[in-house]
Amino acid sequence: MKIAILASHGGSNMQAVLDAIACGRLGMEPSIIISNNRKAYALERAAAAGIPHRVLNGTTHPEPADLDQAILAALRESGTDIVLLAGYMKKLGPATLSHFDGRIVNIHPSLLPKFGGQGMYGSRVHEAVLASSETETGVTIHLVDGAYDEGRILAQTPVPVLPEDTVETLAARVLEREHRFLVETLVRVSKGEIPL
């Protein structure tokens, strides 16, 4: 199973997946890394790992339909079977969503449907969790269906919110859990224990 990873910023979740593949824990092969952000650290990680990587965005392809086709072509030409959105902050276009329907997986840093939807990403999620005085948050891994954070949930795990938490401490605790849970979940997907 060949996995493409799309990432917009740091790519620490992507790195966790690449590390698990490199050490033989996850039986997948990386096909391509795509970022919308040419300055994304994820691209440096991809280069360091020797994995093909591309920048595809509104500058390389000003027409949204062209960008959609370019992303789809990059995924198909690299032999991609499954697409992982690991901190990818853009919506995929209809052609890519349709071709890879049921094979696009996203990781989100809350217990969806709580704290999801448009504009809910990164630290904004944790700010909202703290503002609502929740005692528990978590990680959700779900299929992507075109709406923000709404596809079928594949797996979830809770993470405690502590009374003294700041956005930074909570984000760090959730991210650390994300890395392990993402790999665990993809291992289960690769073994057919979680059907896509």
User: Which residues are tagged catalytic?
Assistant: 108
Q: What is the closest distance, in whole angstroms, from the C-beta atom of residue 114 to ligand GAR in the complex?
A: 13
Residue with tokens 């995924």: 75
Q: Is 11 left (phi over 0), alpha (psi -120 to 50) or beta?
A: left
Residues 83/104, Cβ–Cβ less than 8 Å:
yes
Residue 107 binds to ligand GAR (criterion: CB under 6 A): yes
Residue 108 binds to ligand GAR (criterion: CB under 6 A): yes
The interface region with ligand GAR, picked from 17-25, 102-110, 158-166, 183-191 by CB under 6 A, is 102-110
The interface region with ligand GAR, picked from 17-25, 73-81, 117-125, 160-168 by CB under 6 A, is 117-125
Q: Which of residues 38-97 bind ligand GAR (CB under 6 A)?
A: 86-87
Q: What is the closest distance, in whole angstroms, from the C-beta atom of residue 10 to ligand GAR in the complex?
A: 4
Q: Residue 82 is which amino acid? A: I
For residues 98-108, one letter each, b for 16 or more C-beta atoms within 10 angstroms of the residue's C-beta and e for the rest, the string is ebbeebbbbbb
Nearer to ligand GAR, 9 or 76 (CB): 9
Q: Which of residues 125-154 bind ligand GAR (CB under 6 A)?
A: 125
Q: Which of residues 170-189 bind ligand GAR (CB under 6 A)?
A: 175, 178
Residue 149 main-chain phi, psi, to 5 deg:
60, 35
CA dist., res. 39 & res. 8, Å (int): 9
